[in-house]
Structure 1
Amino acid sequence: MIYIYNDFGGTHTTALAAAYHLKKLDETHEPTKNEILNTHNFNKLVYKDRGKLYFHGKDEDGNKVYTMGRGRSKILVPGIYNLIDMLIKEEVLAEKIILSNTSPTVPFSMTCGGMLSRWLKIDFIGVPLLVIGAKQAYQDIVNLVHHTKQVANTSNSQLIMLNNK
């Protein structure tokens, strides 16, 4: 099985979701500033990285976990979904794939922090806001990961797109 967590930039909630999924972050407590800032790809990706898949590791069941930023595009994820669907129908791809949108977990402080840090390069204001946002979103991200895994494990569909509204 392949999990692909996606959001606008692919560098904040997606990175945290992948870390919780892979148990690199402990879901039983709010993450520390250090844990957040040391999460793979957290606040490291830039505009040109959108649309790329980033491998984060394999979970305890051997499932691969990826993240992706989609930017403002409303067609990137549906396009990927349609491509995967075609590959499944052509019997080129046999693996189950789950696309899970982490955007609903993004708090306002993380949106502001991301804009300040990634776009305007004002890290001394943006990064603290991102840390605050990651702490605010912690339980929502953990819940989203649990929901994503639960749907993946109970659905008979080979291709699943979760908008997580």
Structure 2
Amino acid sequence: MKIIYHCFGGSHSSVTAAAIHVGLLSSSAIPRGDQLMQVPYFDGQEKEDHGEFKYIGTDEFGNQVYVVGKRNLGEMFEPMMYGIGRLYGVSGKDVILVDTMPYVNWMMVVGGFLSRRLGLVRLGRPLVIWGTQQAFANFANMVETLKTKLRSGQVMAQ
């Protein structure tokens, strides 16, 4: 199965959740800034990377975990992705899409905009790191909920 975490830019919330999922970040402790920066793609995606699926790792169940930035697709992203999958004969049971946007706070939005969009990394990165640390428990809980469902076979993909 493939698990795809998605957010606006594929640089912060989806990357953080995917890193928790595959064990690059511990779910039991808020990471330091340097630990976040060691996660592949954290605060590193560029505009032209949006829409590209980036492999993060494989979880303990053998599922491949990816991230993607969806830009302005918002709620249209998941139905579109499942629809494309059906066109190519990919069962919804083979893919789980996880939207991390509900847990993104204003510090992550502003910091991400400054760092990734405007290129003001020295201003934006500390803010997005702080915002990610503030939201970290939400990302960890989201991942743990998904893993609990995976363990019990309750995951309802499209």
TM over 0.5: yes
State whether structure 2 residue 22 is matched by structure 1 residue 22: yes
Unaligned 5+ segments in structure 1 are 161-165
Residue 85 to residue 152, structure 1, CA distance change in 2 (3 Å): farther
Task: Give the length in aligned residue pairs.
Answer: 156
Equivalent positions of 1:20-99 (< 5 A) are: 20-74=20-74, 75-87=76-88, 90=89, 96-99=94-97
Deviations 1:53-87 (A, max 9, x none): 11111111211000010001243332111112344
Equivalent runs, 1:74-153 vs 2, <5 Å? 74=74, 75-87=76-88, 90=89, 96-153=94-151
Unaligned 5+ residue runs, structure 2?
none
Root-mean-square deviation (CA, aligned residues, Å) is 1.8
Given that 1:100 and 1:148 are in contact with CA atoms closer than 8 Å, whether structure 2 keeps it comes out as: no
**Paired-residue identity, %:** 31
Higher helix share: 2
| Aligned-pair CA distance for 1:156 | 6.4
Give 1:121 deviation, angstroms: 0.9
Partners of 2:92 and 2:142 in 1: how far apart? Answer: 25
**Amino acid corresponding to residue 36 of structure 1 in structure 2:** L
Task: Supply the distance in 2 between the matched residues of 1:138 and 1:36 (Cα, whole angstroms).
Answer: 11
What is the identity, as a one-letter code, of the residue corresponding to 2:105? P
- In 2, Cα distance between equivalents of 1:9 and 1:156: 26
Structure 1 residues 79 and 94: CA distance shift in structure 2, 3 A:
closer
- Which range is displaced more, 93-102 or 123-132? 93-102
